[in-house]
Amino acid sequence: MNALVFVHGFMGGSAQWALQAPLAKGREVVALDLPGFGLRAHEPALASIADYGAWVLAELARLGHAQFDLLGHSMGGMIAQEVARQGPARVGRLILYGTGPVGVLPGRFEPIDTSIARAQADGPQATARRISATWFLHGEAAAQYPACARVAECAGLAAQVAGLRAMQGWNGEAALPMICHPTLLIWGDQDRTYPWAQVQALWQGIGNCQLAVVPGCAHAVHMEWPDLFNQIVAGFLAR
């Protein structure tokens, strides 16, 4: 049985998958920390989504995983698309969660250059807390917000800027037909980060693709409704 690999999103980290521990029953689970984030916050962040895809492939080879199932969240979903493109034979099943095929979202609440300027003005910790709140339907009042924010605060300003620049320079639309793996999309219907149009583009652009829409959740379904999220993932992997 393939290991299940988690790739976190912007300002995420392996600790944000704590509520997914039940998925380790009967299979190995590998939760990565990307360079610049989480437990690797001391390492330099990478310059592009493609570089992160290559890093994931190299890191999993180092850990002895020739083949694996892959789940990517948000920016991690972009990286997962890159992994599937760069190393297609190594990926079994693919789960793209709260993500889309482009790094610069049409109608984004503000230009990425403005986001970078705000991060520089406010500082990395305030930026981490502000962005973490948007992940949850009830913002800072959500039960899992403090845990999410603590992980986000690990990322320094350089990593935050590098992550925004990496997303700004990435577009995976043309590569969607190359993804031939059994694929599951997971999306919370109140996600403020990735609107339905982005999820629909993945759904229509990837051939062998299923969709799970979770009502009453924002960008952190795995923390807002972890039991349901885990059931959806386990069911897909078992088929």
Nearest-angstrom CA–CA distance, 80 and 54: 10
pLDDT tens digit sequence for 45-70 = 999 999 999 999 999 999 999 999 99
**In this predicted structure, what is the pLDDT of residue 105?**
76
The model carries a pTM of 0.97
Q: State the pLDDT at residue 111.
A: 83
- 134: enclosing H helix or E strand: helix 124-134
CATH architecture for residues 3-238 = 3-Layer(aba) Sandwich (3.40)
Between strands 91-97 and 183-188, the pairing is parallel
pLDDT band at 119 (very low <50, low <70, confident <90, very high): very high
Encode pLDDT of 198-235 as tens digits.
Answer: 999 999 999 999 999 999 999 999 999 999 999 999 99
Strands 68-73 and 29-31, by their bridges, are: unpaired
State the chain's mean pLDDT as an integer: 96
b/e map of 112-151 (b: 16 or more CB within 10 Å)?
beebbeebeeeebeebbbbbbbebbbeeeebebbebbbeb
End-to-end Cα spacing for the chain:
12
How far apart, in whole angstroms, are the C-alpha atoms of residue 233 and residue 60? 21
Structural contact between residues 137 and 224, judged by C-beta atoms closer than 8 angstroms: yes
